[in-house]
Amino acid sequence: MDLSTCGVVVYHGFTSTPASVLPLADALRTAGCTVAVPSLPGHGTAWQDLERRSAAEILRAGLAAYDALATTCTHVMTAGLSMGGAIALHVAARRRTAGVIPINPALRLKPFTGVGAALLGRAVRTIPPIAGDIALDGVVEEAYERTPLRGVVQLSAMGRQVRRELPGVRERGTPVLLMRSAQDNILPQASADTLVSALDPSQLTVLTLQNSLHVATLDHDADLIGRESVAFLARQLAADLW
């Protein structure tokens, strides 16, 4: 299958960098796709930078990355890990994407996380890092050494916004490949369940990652994620859904 007309924007997670999703990006490039892996606002610099960024600003950047790739590729898909998965769905609600691959999407945080971050943020600015939930020995996620609480508040707000937008993904009938880890120490099961309940079963494929934790793109199932993403893309092209 010739995937040379296809583009994929791959979005990284909260406090992390594009390095966390490079194995997926590399698999897509090897298959012939044009791939963009933007560094999102407030990331890849210092946690103080993320502290100053709003959910709206990060979502706008995600949409801009899609629009830029759409000028050079006939068919464009979005994919993302955690926060990046939420951004991928946000774009799909606003653009006619070829498909979406959310991996452990951050549609809901653990109960009271957003409210707790707002309250605790009155006294302190950061908490310990949340990155690195990986089962594979020796793998380190490139991410901030501290987590800004204002950023957590914005992440919670982002999840609320994208949840409201999910009916748009359903109405478009956009194909979705949801990959969720059987064990995720960062997000609750309700996060992925929210997506499942919001979509038509006919547009949704769910793959459970049995051997990986939250940062599945760097974990035991990284190769599986790459293979299944390429196969998903090829299926949409073969079905002439675009």
Tens of pLDDT, residue by residue over 73-113, are 999 999 999 999 999 999 999 999 999 999 999 999 999 99
Q: Tell me the catalytic residues.
A: 82, 184, 214
Give pLDDT tens digits for 206-225: 999 999 999 999 999 999 99
pLDDT tens, residue by residue, 129-183 = 999 999 999 999 999 999 999 999 999 999 999 999 999 999 999 999 999 999 9
Tokens describing residue 165: 């937008």
Q: How far apart are CA 67 and CA 81, in angstroms?
A: 20
Q: pLDDT confidence of 240, banded at 50, 70, 90?
A: low
- The candidate with the shortest Cα–Cα distance to 8, out of 177, 203, 161, 213, is 177
80 touches 177 (CB < 8 A): no
83-94 helix and 55-70 helix, angle to the nearest 10 degrees? 60
Largest CA distance in the chain: 56
Which residues neighbour 178 within 8 Å (Cβ) at sequence distance 6 or greater?
Answer: 102, 105, 192, 195, 196, 204, 205, 206, 207
Q: Where are the alpha helices (DSSP H) in the chain?
A: 22-30, 47-51, 55-70, 83-94, 113-120, 149-172, 189-198, 222-238
For 102-121, give one letter per residue: b (16+ CB within 10 A) or e. bbbbbbbbeeebbebbeeeb
pTM for the whole structure: 0.96
For residue 203, give every residue at least 6 positions away whose Cβ sits within 8 Å of its Cβ, in sequence order, or none. 170, 173, 174, 175, 176
Is 232 annotated as a binding-site member? no
- Vertex 175 angle, CA 183 and 81, to 5°: 35
83 labeled part of a ligand binding site: yes
